[in-house]
Amino acid sequence: IDLLDDNTRVKALLLNHALISTGIVGFAIFLAILFSLLLPGLITKPIKALARTVERITKDADYSYRADKTHDDEIGCLVDGFNSMLDELEERETALNHYSKNLQSLVEQRTQDLEAAILRAEEANDAKSRFLAKISHEIRTPMTSILGLGELLAQTPLTRTQADYLKGQGHSAEMLLHLIDDLLEFSQYEAGKIPLKPTPCQLQE
């Protein structure tokens, strides 16, 4: 018995399946190539944008810049974290600048107060020196007169008691005159009118 069959239909089905399979594989390869071209761009583009923002902030030292968020994915979370960090840095920089300005103003105010206090101290010192010089001269004049009158009085007839009193009065007047001279010299020292000269001396004396 010979069995005969026409395999044209089978060949057509095989060819049809082969074409469909080839089309599916080709479309899959096309999609794979398309994703391989687009996917890196989708990932690297926001990262490059973030890198440019970092470079700009570093160059300009301006923390007001913010990175643009394009997607709500992991990269979007990274951009949010980066912007939050920039917010904190900007707040700290603002606070630091404010504190620096206040500190500078405070230092300037304290410097002005110190200069004013130094000026007042110098004026008071000058007034004291002028007062010492003037009062010393004013007191020295009558003291010289008292000593002179005492010398004249000593040349007159006196009792022993009167002579002792006059001697004590003259000694006290001379001591007071030396004290006035010391005050006058001290005021001249402060005025810079008498140069100081170191000389050897006996400390006990």
> Which of 61, 63, 67, 74 is CA-nearest to residue 48?
67
> Which of 173, 58, 80, 55 is CA-nearest to residue 67?
80
**pLDDT of 167 higher than 80:** yes
**pLDDT of 105 higher than 70:** yes
Sequence-distant (≥ 6) Cβ neighbours of residue 63 within 8 angstroms = 57, 86, 89, 90, 93
**pLDDT of 174 higher than 70:** yes
Segment 26-65, tens digit of pLDDT: 889 988 887 777 666 666 777 777 777 778 777 777 767 7
Hey, is 62 helix, strand or coil? coil
Segment 58-97, tens digit of pLDDT: 777 776 777 777 767 777 777 788 778 878 888 888 888 8
Segment 129-153, tens digit of pLDDT: 777 777 767 777 787 888 888 888 8
